[in-house]
Amino acid sequence: MLKVLYIIDTLETGGAERSLVAIASKFKDVTPIFIHIYPGSDLKNILINNNIEVYYLQIPVGYNFKEALNKLIPLVPKIRPDIIHTTLFKSDIIGRKLKKHYNVALVNSLVNNSYIKQRYKNLGFISQLKLYLFQQYDNYTSNNVDHPSLYAATKKMS
């Protein structure tokens, strides 16, 4: 059976999180396993009630990519996924760094509103600059992704 490791920032009740939990809960021929990096586990019980393993890395809120990576590196061989699927910016970046350590297919779900003009328009100059730098870093590291998918397409399935 195909084993997919989902790495996501939190299991809070955001759109991407709810969508992934709903989709994974319906799998019949795929074994989903979830790892959430930062605090927030509102959706954890739904996964557990559907016999889906959930790990929490207990990384403090912020970025802390290196700390998250150090906790993920020993977990991956234990889980032995066929695919690693990440969603949301921080998890995407961590997954791309993880890809350098393992020969496992990496899929990113790209949230389709991360860098829209309206988001920039609603920010002050410093925040716009930060968002722009994140966008450039996201673009620069995207070559580590084997299969990008649009979150908007995934969302329609839920």
Q: For position 153, what pLDDT does the model report?
A: 35
Q: For position 16, what pLDDT does the model report?
A: 87
At the topology level, CATH places domain 2-114+145-157 in Rossmann fold (3.40.50)
Domains of the chain, residue spans: 2-114+145-157
Q: For position 62, what pLDDT does the model report?
A: 87
> What is the 8-class DSSP label of residue 111?
P
CA end-to-end distance (rounded Å), the chain: 22
**pLDDT means over runs of 10, the chain (158 residues):** 95 89 94 97 96 96 93 96 92 91 86 70 85 75 61 35
Q: For position 152, what pLDDT does the model report?
A: 36
| Dist. CA 46–CA 30, nearest whole Å | 17
Are the C-beta atoms of 2 and 83 separated by less than 8 Å? Answer: yes
| Dist. CA 98–CA 106, nearest whole Å | 9
Q: For position 113, what pLDDT does the model report?
A: 62
